[in-house]
Amino acid sequence: MPNSTQPSLSDCGCCEGIAAATPVRVDNRPGLSAFAYRAGVHASFNASMQARISTMPALQALATRDADDFSIALMDSWAAVLDVLTFYQERIANEHYLRTARERLSLLELARLIGYELRAGVAASVALAFTVEDAPGAPPAATVAVGVKVQSVPGQGEQAQTFETVEEIEVRAAWNAMPARRTKTQLLGFGATSVFLKGTATNLRKGDILLLVGSERVSDPGSERWDVRRVIAVAPDFDADRTLVTWDRGLGSFDPPSYPAKAPEVYALRLRAGLFGYNAVDPRTLHPEVVEKLKGSMTADKSEWNFTISGNVIHLDNIYPAVQQDGWLVLSKPEYQELYRVVSAAESSRTNYAMSTKTTKVNLDTTENLSGYAGASYRGTVAFTQSEWLPMAQAPDTSDVTGNTVDIAGDYADLPVGRTIIVTGRPVGGTDPVRTEVMSEVAVIDRVDPLPGAVTRLTLKRGLSGTYVRSSVTVNANVAQATHGETVREVLGSGDGAKAYPRFALRQSPLTYVSSADASGAASTLEVRVNDLLWQEVATLFDRSPDARVYVTHTDDDGRTTVQFGDGISGARLPTGVENVRAVYRKGSGVAGNVAAGKLTTLLTRPLGLKEVTNPVAAAGGDDRESRDDARANAPLTVLTLDRIVSLQDYEDFARAFAGVAKALATWTWDGQNRGVFVTVAGPNGAQLEPTGST
């Protein structure tokens, strides 16, 4: 090539067209996504042929260059042929290199040179929640077998997708929607001002007296661990069949210091009575002769009666049949209250204080502070008795449901450990106080523990990722794992022992691959049986024993899968037979299987006892077959890592080659003691990979 800085005889342009313009010199710098490889194009080929006319003696007489001339037209035609040939030659050359190949088939064949097979599509997986028929007469339990088919309801522009269960489970009507425990045992501690009572017919009103006393006072008459409170509000809850009762001040006291009972019971003191003589006439209003006659029952100045209490006996001001043995009685005066247990109560009569009447004689369990109600305090003392026990209800539990335990209401101790469940509820938070949308997530039972009060605690293998409003939470334990795809059973053909490396093509495509824990991240659903014996799929027939019942599969660029057997040296030959080569596999895969939550609702297979099905959580993990660009990036990874992971780049390369992972980022991290590698991955189109998912 002439140096453009040097003078040339052709600088004037007079010699243009007399020299050949082909082959064109090609220079390709490194790193190009496509390289030039053409020897010329139509114009350069045509110019080169016309330039050589004058160099060939046989064509000396051809002096015209007119395009209408037949000879010139023939050259133009051949220039067009060469243009087409070099165009495809350039394309073919580009298809021989990983970076420049444009056809997926080229990438497929190039990758096979280093033992890399383009990844097939992976089936989505989903947790299906079944509802068991609970109508009267329906069986309480049913079985969901492997292979139960469920189809999605397609949306606009979508196609119906079929899923099949991959595990057999027992389902029960009782497990359809188990509610989370929504109540809890009440703990009436220091400062408590309310209690939930069972039922709505408590017959309590504002101003009534409540006694809260526990076993401490029963066993020790001197115990002060009890409280008497006045009702200030009564709120029945007819839906929950309980009543919220609020009293005037908190339990316990700072001055004097006292504590409430550890496990108090609640009593309504229905009767309010005075002591015998509380309404006696004022002695100062009596005639002097009467005063003189009764002065032995008066104080020294004869201004008041000498009210006394003898021993542990008191007399109430009237007959009260409702006062019974073992009941409670509270003596109250403005500055003090004391609690007593009724040892006995009987009808009696008494004459004193210038009066005579029928009374109720009550023997108390102790004389503690009893004398303090005699004398000047006698008239103002009130006896609260006729104690009626009011059973406490469970209090509403307003705590959130989160973490790795879920308490459900009812006895479900027979729930199997390892069972997949779906927890559904309204998430905590948000600005709308009446939000009604719910969320669901999949969990696995690690332990089942019965708790008092007909409550079952489920401990999960992995804590819930969300936080839910307890009153909205339900748990479905009729959950089976399912994957995208439909089972196909077909006869591949007949074995012929005389043929080496026989091949059989699957009639349906694409072959379903499901997520697995091996290095590839995908496992085939294909099972091949010859004479009803299961043969094993291997990566290659090389170095296999002559009697090894193995086969390999190849998937072409159109997604069709071919099964190939050995030749009797590398893998066993097929035994001769008629239609003795059979296959069972699943068809269907790809991102189309990542259906949204609530779409899988059509039972194509309806086992006895099943009512309906749905997928509360969206299907995930589905990935299309490896694309051209993905193959270009992933194929070299197999020789970059060489089955070992050392650098951060190795971690990223290995993770990105895993089925269902589209992007990966590895960074160093520190746990306080050691340095580790933190790998962040994302699914196709940036989708989040669920911690409990199959990928």
Residue 432 has pLDDT above 60, yes or no: no
pLDDT recorded at residue 695: 60
Domain match, 530 and 493 both:
yes
Mean pLDDT of 357-368: 94
What is the DSSP code (8-state) at residue 298? B
What pLDDT band is residue 18 in, cutting at 50, 70 and 90?
Answer: low
Same domain, 241 and 366: yes
Q: Which of 421, 447, 477 is the last residue of a domain?
A: 477
Q: Are 120 and 510 in contact (CB under 8 A)?
A: yes
* Same domain, yes or no: 389 and 279: yes
Mean pLDDT, the chain, integer: 89
Closest C-alpha among 595, 358, 343, 628 to residue 482? 595
Q: Which range among 61-75, 197-211, 488-502, 560-574 shows the weakest confidence by mean pLDDT?
A: 61-75
> Does residue 282 fall inside a structural domain?
yes
Would the pLDDT of 391 be above 90? yes
Q: Worst-scoring range by mean pLDDT, 295-299, 316-320, 486-490?
A: 295-299
| Rounded average pLDDT over 432-436 | 54
Q: Which residue has the higher pLDDT, 352 or 16?
A: 352
The structural domain count of the chain equals: 6
Q: Which residue has the higher pLDDT, 432 or 57?
A: 57
Between these two residues, 176 and 557, which has the higher pLDDT value?
176
User: In this predicted model, what pLDDT tens digit does every residue of 332-353 receive, in sequence order?
Assistant: 998 889 999 999 999 999 999 8
Res 613 pLDDT > 80? yes
- Please measure the distance between the N-terminal and C-terminal CA atoms of the chain and give it in whole angstroms: 58
Per the omega criterion (within 30 degrees of 0), is the bond before 256 cis? yes
pLDDT at 603 over 60: yes
Dist CA 665 CA 169 (whole Å)? 38
Angle formed at CA 629 by CA 623 and CA 633, multiple of 5 degrees: 95
**248 lies in some domain:** yes
Checking DSSP bridges between strand 527-530 and strand 550-555, what pairing results, if any?
unpaired
Same domain membership, residue 503 and residue 580: yes
| Alpha carbons 40 and 60: distance in angstroms, whole number | 26
At 516 the three-state DSSP class reads: coil
Residue 12 predicted with pLDDT over 70? no
Q: Do both 546 and 579 map to the same domain?
A: yes
> Quick one: tokens of 338?
């004391």
Identity at 373, one-letter amino acid code: Y
644, amino acid identity: R
Are the CB atoms for 213 and 226 separated by under 8 Å?
Answer: yes
Q: Are residues 446 and 505 in the same domain?
A: no
Mean pLDDT of the 485-496 span? 94
Question: Are the beta carbons of 244 and 260 closer than 8 angstroms?
Answer: no
Instruction: For 570-674, list the strands marked E by DSSP.
Output: 581-587, 600-603, 610-614, 663-670
- Domain limits at 577? 486-587
* DSSP state string for 303-350: SSB-----TTEEEESS--TT--TT-EEEEEETTEEEEEEEEEEEEEEE
- Range 57-74 average pLDDT: 87
The number of helix segments (H) and strand segments (E) in the chain equals 8, 39
Please check whether residues 344 and 467 belong to one and the same domain.
no
Q: Give a yes or no: residue 646 inside a domain.
A: yes
Whether 582 contacts 489, CB under 8 Å: yes
CB 225 within 8 A of CB 260: yes
Indicate whether 414 and 438 sit together in one domain.
yes
- Return the structure tokens found at 606: 């309806």
Same-domain pairing of 145 and 81 = no
pLDDT: which is higher, 487 or 644: 487
Q: Are residues 420 and 323 in the same domain?
A: no
The total number of residues shown for the chain amounts to 695
Whether residue 8 lies inside any domain: the answer is: no
pLDDT over 90 at 298, yes or no? no
Query: 137 - beta bridge partners?
Result: none
The CA–CA distances, whole Å, from 527 to 123, 171, 532, 575 equal: 17, 29, 11, 17
Question: What b/e string do you get for 88-105 counting C-beta neighbours within 10 Å, with b at 16 or more?
Answer: eebbeebbeebebbeebe
**Residue 226 dihedral angles phi and psi, to the nearest 5°:** -155, 160
Measure Cα distances from 339 to 227, 253, 325, 482 in Å. 9, 16, 15, 66
Of residues 52, 49, 56, 54, the one with CA closest to residue 77:
49
pLDDT reported for residue 624:
87
Bond preceding residue 23 cis, omega within 30 of 0: yes
Same domain, residue pair 363 and 411: no
Does residue 202 belong to any structural domain of this protein? yes
Has residue 559 been placed in a domain? yes
Alpha-carbon Rg for the chain, nearest whole angstrom, is 47
What percentage of residues in the chain have a pLDDT greater than 90? 62
CATH of the domain at 497: 2.60.40
Domain assignment of residue 564, yes or no = yes
CB 421 within 8 A of CB 477: yes
Residue 62 neighbours by CB under 8 Å, 6+ apart: 53, 71
* Cα–Cα distance measured from residue 361 to residue 495, given in angstroms and rounded to the nearest whole number: 107
In-domain check, residue 691:
no
Q: Is 606 helix (H, G, I), strand (E, B) or coil?
A: coil
Q: Give me the CATH number covering residue 430.
A: 2.40.10
pLDDT at 433 over 70: no
Q: Domain check: are 130 and 263 in the same one?
A: no
- The residue out of 454, 477, 500 marking a domain boundary is 477
Final residue of a domain: which of 396, 422, 444?
396
Q: How confident is the model at residue 146 (pLDDT cuts 50, 70, 90)?
A: very high
